[in-house]
Copies of this chain bind each other. A is one copy, B any other.
Amino acid sequence: MGINYFRRDDRDLKFVLTEYLDLPRLLSYPAYQEFSADDFAMMTDEALKVGREVLGPGLQDGDRQGCAYEDGKVTTPAAWKDCWRVLFANGWAAATSNPEFGGMGLPAVMGGVLGDIFAGANMAFMTFPGLTTGNGHLIENFGTDGDRALFLEKMYTGQWAGTMCLTEPDAGSDVGSILTKAVPDPEAGDPRIYKIEGTKRFITCGEHDLAENVIHLLLAKIEGAPAGTKGISLFVVPKIWVNPDGSLGEPNDVFCTGIEHKMGIHGSPTCSLSFGENGKCRGILLGEPHTGMAKMFQMMNHARIGCGIQALGLAASAYDTAREYAKERVQGAPLANRHGARVTIVHHEDVRRMLVNLKSGTEAMRAFIARLLFLADVAAHDPDQEERDKALDQVELLTPLVKAYNSDFAYNLIRDAIHVLGGSGYCSDYPVEQYARDAKIVGIWEGTNYIQALDLVGRKLSMQGGKVFQDWLGQVMGFTAKHKEDPDFAPDMKLLYKAGQAVGDFALRFLQYFKEGRFSLVPMYATRFLDCFAETAMAHLILEQGLLARGKLAQVEPSSSSGAFYAGKVASAKFFCRNTLTNVFGRHLALQQEDLSAMELPEEAF
């Protein structure tokens, strides 16, 4: 039996929700006005309980049992049935989904808090409900009333599950090259129904035993469609055909041909699916032909933010394990008092450095996601059109950062957690090595991190002629100008100011490279630009939190638990700026080399 190590506490979650974010603004929107801050605090407590009592206990067993494949069927870990039941029965899975179809209608920011908790408790399991509701949101947005009536409630309540089917054996990052075909099916008597034929690969939760049906959202090319991504259409392809009255019909000629053996998320089956091998697979076209890619991108963008949340959840759980271990494990004396008594390792300087790196890193990621989701809520519900537009632009700008930076950062932070535990960190009794294995996938799926970097420099940077980026940068620079003489954070403001300059310089240089036809320099430095941009954005937010916490610290007893928490927030802000943000400058120096040595060597040299 695995051990349940889930120990997330509520403090930083509630700080973000009720102290840091402008929650009253969200609660003023008609969509959210039935909720209160107290509701969210209570839900946070309840979700932590679900993490502790339902999801956490299955984490290690799920990893060890994994999923099993036999004759087209996939068996999931034993604990998953109960997790599935609880997540749907209590509305958690469809927390941010439309109440009209069984969802709870919570704001995105609250969805982020739940994701942080649930992914941190059991990421592999959470892929099942995550894909199901994400899929449902797309049917909601692009389906007909009939589609919505047919699919949504059953998906939001867990009777049916969902997937997204993009990747094929020869089309991964290059999704425009998919070969799966769709042909109108004249026998169906419905022009939206097509015959589907093709093979999909790396389909997360593509087949399993948690729900009576699996609704696939599949990308395919209608015969005669334009080449590339502009010829892709989106289809709803149920594993078992759904009759017009909602009852289950015949199996829909969708067959799982195998699952992958992977580094981690063993409890989440990564399936190869064959559609229409016997010519009997049908799919329902969602929206107009050849408009599938843009539609899928809506789910994809949602899933990319989801990746950032998963990365946060895992890193935060790794921090939980590391801090608990460090406060219990006794080893030697610290260097600064080397002839003193043996102490718990939380007193050893390098362990502290790693712990505060984990602490400040997870808090910075949490702040970043909270801000992004807040903007998403504003974009969806603010009464002012201009506010909505501005917020949406920022969401689009920052989404690749949250996806790529968080996933890489989490992998590095979890590495530190392993090191805090030493040899025990490498052993499977503790969960940190599993977090490392589970976390690695987040940098790959929903568009690898390099695809994110290309999205950033190729599309997002140039939005509105660069104005969206300039708006972001202006906020950061205005913030540093306002606080540059701050008695506690002046050095941090200076670093942030310089980092903002470096990020701005990156952007200007990229523009220049495009103009001068020195195209290769842009992708060569795109990932590093993304990292610098993300660290600068996060430093801005964690300094906002630091200022806020310092003010609150003055109002509480320093030795109280609130006092310790606020002092910890102040330290997190300083540590992040002085130890993580400083990486910007090494990368910026690398950019100044304008180095293309990687392109210059002959292929035969590899």
- Residues of A bordering B, CB below 8 Å: 167, 170-174, 176-177, 201-202, 260-264, 270, 323, 326-327, 330-332, 334-337, 342, 346, 348-353, 355-356, 359, 411, 415, 418-419, 422-423, 425-429, 433, 436-437, 440-441, 443-445, 448-450, 453-454, 458, 491, 495, 519-520, 522-524, 526-527, 561, 563-565, 567-568, 570-571, 574-575, 578-579, 582-587, 589-590, 593, 595, 597-606
Between-chain CB contacts (< 8 Å), 23 pairs: A174-B332, A174-B342, A176-B332, A260-B428, A327-B606, A335-B454, A348-B450, A349-B520, A349-B598, A350-B450, A352-B524, A352-B598, A359-B605, A419-B450, A423-B445, A425-B444, A495-B593, A563-B602, A567-B602, A582-B586, A582-B587, A582-B589, A585-B589
Whether the Cβ atoms of A440 and B433 lie closer than 8 Å is yes
Q: CB-nearest residue of chain B relative to A349?
A: B523
Contacts of A170 in B (CB 8 A): 330
Q: How far is the CB of A354 from the nearest CB of chain B, in Å? A: 8
Output the nearest chain B residue to A427 by Cβ-Cβ distance. Answer: B260
Q: Judging by beta carbons under 8 Å apart, are B350 and A602 in contact?
A: no
Asked if B593 and A353 make an inter-chain contact with CB atoms under 8 angstroms apart, the answer reads no
Name, among A264, A593, A606, the residue most crowded by chain B CB atoms within 10 Å (CB to CB). Answer: A606
A263-B428, A523-B334, A598-B356 are contacts. A606–B419 as well, Cβ < 8 Å? no
Nearest 3 pairs between A and B by C-beta?
Answer: A568-B605, A586-B586, A349-B523
Which of these, B519, B579, B602, contacts A564 with CB under 8 Å?
Answer: B602
Tell me the smallest distance from the CB of A169 to a CB of chain B, in Å. Answer: 10
A324 to chain B minimum Cβ distance, whole angstroms, is 9
Per a CB cutoff under 8 Å, which of B262, B331, B593, B602 touches A582?
B593
Which residues of B lie under 8 Å from residue A606 when comparing CB positions?
Answer: 323, 326-327, 346, 355, 359, 568
- Chain B residues with Cβ under 8 A from A174's Cβ? 331-332, 342
Assess A353 versus B270: contact at CB under 8 Å? Given A586-B584, A593-B491, A605-B567: no
Q: Do A579 and B568 touch across chains, with their CB atoms under 8 A apart?
A: no
Contact between A571 and B586 (Cβ–Cβ < 8 Å)?
Answer: no
In the bound complex, residues from chain B placing their C-beta under 8 Å from that of A326 are 606
Q: Is the CB of A427 within 8 A of B261?
A: yes
The smallest beta-carbon distance between A539 and chain B, in angstroms, is 13
Please determine whether B571 and A598 come into contact, CB atoms closer than 8 angstroms: yes
**Minimum Cβ distance to chain B for residue A577 (Å):** 8
| Chain B residue at minimal CB-CB distance from A580 | B590
Q: In the complex, how many angstroms separate the beta carbon of A180 from the nearest chain B beta carbon?
A: 17
Instruction: Kindly report which residue of chain B lies nearest to residue A425, judged by CB atoms.
Output: B444
Residues of the B chain whose Cβ atoms lie less than 8 Å from the Cβ of A574 = 595, 597
User: Which residue of B261, B359, B519 contacts A336 across the interface (Cβ within 8 Å)?
Assistant: B519
Contact of A444 among B177, B419, B443 (CB under 8 A): B419
CA distance A359 to B597 in the complex (A): 12
Please report the C-alpha to C-alpha distance between residue A177 and residue B341 in the assembled complex, in whole angstroms.
11
Distance to closest chain B CB from A115 (angstroms): 21
Name the one of B437, B561, B567 contacting A263, with C-beta atoms under 8 angstroms.
Answer: B437
Complex CA gap A366/B181 in Å reads 50
A373, B595: Cα distance in complex, Å: 32
Contact B565 A172 (CB under 8 A): no
Report B-chain residues with C-beta under 8 Å of the C-beta of A495: 593
Chain B residues whose C-beta falls within 8 Å of the C-beta of A587 in the assembled complex:
582, 586
Contact indicator B342/A177 (Cβ below 8 Å): yes
Indicate which residue in B202, B261, B331 contacts A429 across the interface (CB closer than 8 Å).
B261
Name the B residues within 8 Å of A337 (CB-CB).
519
- Nearest chain B CB to A517 CB, angstrom units: 9
A605 touching B564, Cβ below 8 Å: yes
The answer to whether A601 touches B356 (Cβ under 8 A) is: yes
**A443 and B419 contacting across the interface, CB-CB below 8 Å:** yes
**Whole-angstrom CA separation of A423 from B265 in the bound complex:** 13
Q: How far is the CB of A381 from chain B (nearest CB, A)?
A: 35
In contact, A605 and B419 (Cβ under 8 angstroms): no
CA distance A339 to B533 in the complex (A): 28
A419 touches B448 (CB 8 A): yes
Whether A597 contacts B568 in the complex (CB less than 8 A), given A173-B332, A342-B177, A426-B441, comes out as: no
Q: Given the interface contacts A571-B600, A587-B582, does A349 sit within 8 Å of B524 by beta carbon?
A: yes
Contact A335 B519 (CB under 8 A): yes
Instruction: Evaluate contact between B436 and A263: CB separation under 8 angstroms.
Output: yes
Smallest distance from the beta carbon of A550 to chain B beta carbons, Å? 13
Chain B residues positioned under 8 Å from A448 (CB to CB): 419, 422
Complex: chain B residue closest to A344, CB-CB: B603
**Of A262, A263, A563, A583, which is in contact with the most chain B CB atoms at under 10 Å from its CB?**
A263
Closest Cβ neighbor of A339 among chain B residues: B228
